[in-house]
Amino acid sequence: MKVIGIIPARFDSSRFPGKPLIDIAGQTMIQRVYNQCKHAGSLHEVIVATDDQRIFDQVKSFAGNVIMTNKNHQSGTDRCAEVINNIQGFDIAVNIQGDEPFIDPQQIDLLVSCFANPQVEIATLIRKITLQDELTNPNKPKVILNTDQEAIYFSRHPIPYFRGVEIHQWLEKTDFYNHIGIYGYQVDVLKKLTQLKPSKLELAESLEQLRWIENGFRIKTALSNHSNDAIDTPEDLQIILKKYFN
């Protein structure tokens, strides 16, 4: 089973333009993500997929693998699909967020381990929610699972809903899970996903994985204990710098 790790990286961002090139203690964010991925033993290749010449040149400057992709892609999934349409010989593609400079390589290996079962089409990671603000934060999508640990729904709202119980008591009633935004796909499945039209649930929640579920694809989950630090805004960058470099 050959696995390629793909890091979609676009320059334009409504909340933080140019964030792949921001400096984090002497290295750009895209370089830090790339280096973390190279430490994942399950990946046979790592490549950055970008639509911007500045990012392309930056990756080349630290001898990284990079490919220029179409500017019109609506999601990282579409960008990953373009890569696997141009680079043959891989069975599994892993879509790695380009804004998590300290992603744990063991998380990538955990995700890839899901594909030891050849029936797994798509895999992703989840983490148990322990704090109330994680439960109610709409920027941290929640997920509910079936008995096979497959995702059956994602939402920005806390799910499941506990009728007759104050929300501050919900964490005492059952386990809630946050979704960690890293995906693995069988290559043939990834190609099929990009042919699907946006779905009603996806448009309502602004979560593309709901499109896959609505169309009958199964998403295997694995439980991670690692807390991921994503940089979405300049304020997030300051928090990261204080956490890791003070």
pLDDT per position as a tens digit, 118-140: 999 999 999 999 999 999 999 89
76-80 LR contacts (CB < 8 Å, sep 24+): 76/8, 77/183, 77/190, 77/193, 77/194, 77/208, 78/194, 79/6, 79/8, 79/10, 79/49, 79/51, 80/6, 80/8, 80/49, 80/185, 80/190
Burial 56-79 (b: 16+ CB within 10 A, else e): bebbeeeebbbbebeeebeebbbb
Whether the predicted pLDDT of 241 surpasses 80:
yes
pLDDT tens by residue, 22-79? 999 999 999 999 999 999 999 999 999 999 999 999 999 999 999 999 988 989 999 9
Whether the predicted pLDDT of 14 surpasses 80:
no
Query: What pLDDT sits at residue 235?
Result: 87
Least confident of 70-79, 86-95, 101-110, 114-123: 70-79
Query: What pLDDT sits at residue 160?
Result: 95
Are the C-beta atoms of 210 and 199 separated by less than 8 Å?
yes
CATH architecture for the domain at 3-245: Alpha-Beta Complex (3.90)
pLDDT tens by residue, 133-167? 999 999 899 999 999 999 999 999 999 999 999 99
Distance between CA atoms of residues 179 and 158, nearest Å:
12
Query: What pLDDT sits at residue 242?
Result: 87
End-to-end CA gap in the chain: 41
What is the residue extent of each domain of the chain?
3-245
Query: What pLDDT sits at residue 190?
Result: 97
Give Cα 54 distance to the centre of its chain: 23
Whether the predicted pLDDT of 231 surpasses 90:
no
Query: What pLDDT sits at residue 230?
Result: 84
Which whole-number Å values give the CA distances from 106 to 41, 142, 177, 187, 226, in the listed order? 8, 22, 19, 22, 9
Over range 175-186, report the average pLDDT: 96
Over range 90-94, report the average pLDDT: 98
Whether the predicted pLDDT of 20 surpasses 90:
yes
Whether the predicted pLDDT of 103 surpasses 80:
yes
pTM above 0.85, yes or no: yes
Please state whether beta strands 27-28 and 92-95 pair in parallel, antiparallel, or not at all (unpaired). unpaired
Query: What pLDDT sits at residue 228?
Result: 81
pLDDT > 90 fraction of the chain, expressed in percent and rounded:
84
Burial 134-161 (b: 16+ CB within 10 A, else e): bbbeeebbbbbbeeeebbebbbbebeee
Are the C-beta atoms of 19 and 90 separated by less than 8 Å?
no
Query: What pLDDT sits at residue 232?
Result: 82
